Amino acid sequence: MNILKDNFGRRFPYIRLSISDVCNFKCGYCLPDGYKINKADNRTFINTQEIGRLAKALSELGVSKIRITGGEPTIRKDYLEIIKIIKKNSGIKKTVITTNGYKLNKIAKNLKDSGLDGINISIDSLNSKTFKQVTGHDRLHEILEGIQELQKLNFKNIKINAVLMKGINDSEKDFKEWSNFIKNNEIDFRYIELMQTGDNLDYFQKYHISANKFVDFLNNDKWIIQTFGKDAGPSKNFIKAEYKGKFGVIAPYSKDFCKSCNRLRITAKGDLRLCLFLVTGINIRHLMQKDDQIEELKDLILNQLNYKKESHYLEIGETGLNKNLSTIGG
């Protein structure tokens, strides 16, 4: 079986599949003015039949994990059907979703019943005032209620992501609040360094801070770094004996970050992106139209890996095609 492997020896068992670039939140680092239709691109979002063929092709290329992203994926009415379609492929061992959790308290059981294997929820602060400042919505209580609903259903593999921002959620008080939160909760919490995109330069310059600040807190608090295999990806994870949850750090500006890259991205309109910050992409949707195109689709994806670069070059200001992260799911 051909597997997804680039010229630098990196393997790609993990795909981030965006199913919508629409989002109902107004996060300052992503969509501060809310979602706006791109009138220059009138293509529709990929449909369930196309996703089914894509998932089959990816499974046959050795992909074992697909993360459904957005925008906000649960805005689509057929998001549960999409989960089930992906899970029909025996090679896909993990089907997971990233969500802002805005209606999690209402859809927790549906997610559990769909067979979903994991969920990442974006919560930038446990302080409701700060949460509203960042997202434009006062819905922290509902989201936390949704997490509790998942836990009542014995749903495993719950993760929380927060974008680390200077002066907003980077104090020792913030770190300790999360530490207390995961102590008795089997939940993984990860800080992600704020990343520069095409239209957030001012925001980036004002709020970016190195993830080393959080790592220093973890080291001082005697957290122990976990080691994983070669294909584990770029997240650094930390454990502590008396804690049920774990901490994680994603630091794209750190040295050698891209050496452990294990993922490719596909946009909601069917473009393959080899990197979050690549300046080019290729549309593969035309090969998702018929069942007899799957071999051709696989060949195209395999061939594109010849063009994957060794680094994202984010550290020198290369932000690629993305005006904001809603177009490709972060």
Q: What is the DSSP string of 249-267?
A: EE-TTSTTGGGG--EEEE-
Q: Is 127 exposed, middle or buried (0-12, 13-18, 19+ CB in 10 A)?
A: middle
CATH number of 14-327: 3.20.20.70
Query: Residue 312: pLDDT band by 50, 70, 90 thresholds?
Result: low
Q: Is cis: bond before 71, omega within 30 of 0? A: yes
Closest CA to 233 of 59, 65, 54, 17: 65
Residue 328 three-state SS: coil
In whole angstroms, how far apart are CA 34 and each of 10, 24, 31, 60, 136? 36, 7, 5, 38, 9
- DSSP type of residue 44: P
* pTM beyond 0.75: yes
Q: How far, CA to CA in Å, does 228 sit from each of 14, 188, 206, 238?
A: 15, 16, 34, 11
Q: Label residue 254 by pLDDT band (50, 70, 90).
A: confident
Q: Does residue 89 or residue 257 have the better pLDDT?
A: 89
Non-local (6+) Cβ contacts of 227 within 8 A are none
Residues 10-59 have pLDDT tens digits of 999 999 999 999 999 999 998 888 888 888 788 899 999 999 999 999 99
Q: Please state the length of the chain.
A: 330
SS3 category, 39: coil
